[in-house]
């Protein structure tokens, strides 16, 4: 689903991403058993105190299913998508910022 462009209105894409995040968080919860969905060492982990990232096992395997994008037209986002991106950028760099986020960018 996330390996190709989404051809939906930005509001619908926002809902799709939020739903996927909720599902992911639920599957990673202890309720279902985190080790069944994401075995130990599979995902990247990060130390928020020193900004170091440990790469997960998923990076070592072959990349399947990812294809090169072909020209889909103008290759320009809609104005609504650009506005939503700018809104999120302002939020995550302002009110929604966390104290350690700048250390994580290298």
| 4-47: pLDDT as tens digits | 788 888 899 999 998 888 888 777 777 556 777 777 787 888 88
User: Which band of pLDDT confidence, cut at 50, 70 and 90, is reported for residue 65?
Assistant: very low
How many folded domains does the chain comprise?
A: 1
Contacts of 49 (CB under 8 A, 6+ apart): 100
Residue 4 belongs to a domain: no
Residue 75 belongs to a domain: yes
Domain containing residue 40: 10-104
Backbone torsions φ then ψ of 91, nearest 5 degrees: -65, -50
Q: pTM for this one? A: 0.40
For tokens 């009110």, the residue is 95
């Amino acid at each position: 689903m996330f390996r190709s462009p989404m051809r939906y209105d930005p509001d619908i894409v926002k809902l799709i991403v939020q739903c996927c995040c909720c599902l992911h968080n639920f599957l990673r919860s202890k309720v279902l058993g985190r080790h069944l969905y994401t075995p130990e060492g599979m995902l990247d982990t990060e130390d928020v105190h020193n900004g170091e990232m440990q790469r997960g096992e998923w990076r070592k395997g072959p990349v399947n299913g990812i294809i090169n994008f072909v020209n889909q037209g103008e290759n320009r986002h809609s104005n609504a998508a650009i506005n939503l991106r700018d809104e999120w950028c302002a939020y995550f760099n302002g009110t929604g910022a966390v104290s350690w986020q700048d250390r994580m960018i290298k």
